[in-house]
Amino acid sequence: MTTTHDIPVLPDPRVQPTMTVPEAGRLFGLQKAASYNAARRGEIPTISVGRRLLVPTAKLRALLGIDAAATTDAAA
């Protein structure tokens, strides 16, 4: 029996500029409560929009070094 797992994908910031804290936390393998705790500690970058706490996709990509690696690969 084969089991398929949903692999979280970090979206392109031009397509999805923000994501929820739990969505960002899933990229790190965190549960909802742990994601909000990491955001509160500043380990996951966030912005407040009204009462919502959102994670800017571009900042998360930069934190993980994804865009820097793509720029370096393109220059090579």
Question: What is the pTM (predicted TM-score) of this model?
Answer: 0.76
Beta bridge pairs of residue 68: none
pLDDT of residue 66: 83
Q: Residue 1 above 50 pLDDT?
A: no
Q: Are 18 and 55 in contact (CB under 8 A)?
A: yes
Beta bridge pairs of residue 20: 54
Angle formed at CA 20 by CA 43 and CA 68, multiple of 5 degrees: 55
pLDDT, one tens digit per residue, over 30-66 is 999 999 999 999 999 999 999 999 999 999 999 888 8
Q: State the DSSP code for 44.
A: S
